[in-house]
A and B are shown apart, each in its own frame.
Chain A
């Protein structure tokens, strides 16, 4: 398993990774989630050995990899732009890592064929790289990274250059493939939907640190901090006064900020203490997503009953969906 211990990395005096720590188990897919510039790609590159670290350690099964050069670590990295070799065709691209391992020819050919089958690109061996579509190039890149059987595969925003529909389909394929292979992986993305659909554990990054780490369910139910909560798409933050009161009533025991998850706000027909006005309503997949103005607070929720803009509605807050934040 991978252990990243308190690493620090800076570029030109700017701290990019600050006391960053992470563990990735065998067969585990950990997603690094965060906005661009939070240091997630740098963390990948540092684990890969492409960036130098100032302090800290990178261990694989307790063996110190910190000073091992990148090509000897046995870690694979799939780049955002795929970085396929333009002077080699599909087969030669996938074969590259096998060639370096000095496997014999028949073995290599068989492995290339298996990999192409795995990623659903049978008979693509002789295709030139320039003629591939975005999705095909991405699959070739995946096959190429998997070819030398890396102990750990890292994927840097692999879906970033693809369109939405293709992204959803490929995401499922990649997820299934990694699980079939029992592949330990770190997957970097800034898209929380993507993160939730592929992760065993999600690590939310902010300013060079891991802000929160846990299974998708744990992280969703209790993001821990406002930054982490924003990162995974939560929107309802309520500031409390010194006695824990707010426009929505008493939500805590003292001052601070609480999160009300979307599932904790329901629209009821009987009158309640909380009345709001619908400010926006968008319809998606059978639900109406609305923003409601309550005093100076704006809350987001969804409902199956149709509502219109400017409707006055009664709301109820589910106390179990109120999460105190740091």
Chain B
């Protein structure tokens, strides 16, 4: 194109020909050759795709749950994923064995999400109301990024994680660690705060109120304002109800936030107790703004 711009430019003493309007052999050539090229590209793409969707036998199966705005992973022995600090946030870590086929059985509790590990070149949407599957075979030990790539609301860009590929030995150890929950209620509550995904919306630090949901710190034992204008005591019963039926008594100023999902059937009484202990322990912290 640049050659033509130079060669045939308008200049004094030059006059192009108004001919050359049509050349059938040339036109057929530039139709047929691109056609052949795209047929080849299509073929390669389709074959690759079929390889990516045929799930082999004998995989390591892992359950993946997507929720606004966190990933959680459940291993075959019922254990759950651990966390790693990134900046202010705790992000989930999925541990995988090297050189073994892995199958993910994925579900979403609320809206569309999409599971994406760029280094593995795999991606699949997680659609509420059905299971999606994804398989791959990690071949190199290391730590890789994990993203959500289907827009899912306020903290979409915080819905990230790490994938850690370890040796077979390391994987066994990780599995053992994954089923343990500390006996001490406070430690257990602190772990569950991250593991159940509370931390993705509710702040529990020392800086007053921040994040999409009401902060945990500094409210225990006080009376808090509700969205409907009434008041309620922030006690054991209120925390329990807010976990099991979050919309019943929404805090003032949070009525228009993305609604929290109910945890009915997903959390045991002993775990609720631990969470209450954890929230109680935050009472001494600075009072939140609202």
Q: Do A and B bind each other?
A: no
Hey, which bits of chain B sit against chain A, CB under 8 A?
A: none
Give A contacts to B, CB under 8 Å: none
